Amino acid sequence: MARPKMLTVKVSGLKELEQALNALDHDLHKKALKTAGKEAMRPVYTRVLNNVVVGETGGLKSTIKLTSTSDVRTLRKISKKAAMVARVSAGTTKRRDGLTGHQALNIEYGLHGKRTMAAQPFMRPAIQGKEKVVFMHFRRLLGVHIEKTARTQMKRNRRNSKTL
């Protein structure tokens, strides 16, 4: 079976927000992006938690994470133009930490070695058909966080100008 592809959506029309972000210090720029991305993905995270099949141990549910990153190495793997990635993931890379990502895929797609079992999708239904809503929410939140961060930038600049 072919490896499942990660959902990728391109957002356009963010020129004004991009210009405002570029006016901020780099650390504040990254913080505003990551915070807005994480907040925009929170409803998806909640739906994944509600959709997941809870077994006897609850191991899979405990591995579901909501993260956002602006790490350059991670971004290069995804896209040359990406500035931030927010994601909901299930499973871990280490067996001792709970269900692995491989096991989460088995449940999502109904695979189990050479046998097939009934698929119990919990990730795809959480985002499919809701991509546009998530990105509109992201756009709005990014504007809010840019304004908030711009105030922090002004305070920082005033403080730095007093010390000179």
Q: Are 34 and 84 in contact (CB under 8 A)?
A: yes
pLDDT (0 to 100) of residue 1: 46
Angle between helices 26-51 and 131-163 (to 10 degrees): 150
pTM for the structure as a whole? 0.78
Q: How far is CA 88 from CA 3, 19, 23, 29, 71, in A?
A: 18, 28, 29, 22, 16
pLDDT (0 to 100) of residue 100: 67
Distance CA(44)–CA(123), nearest Å, equals: 9
The DSSP code for 120 is -
The full length of the chain comes to 164
Distance CA(119)–CA(107), nearest Å, equals: 6
Task: Give the pair of three-digit tokens for residue 50.
Answer: 């509600």
Low-confidence ranges of the chain (pLDDT < 70): 1-13, 55-58, 93-100, 112-114, 164
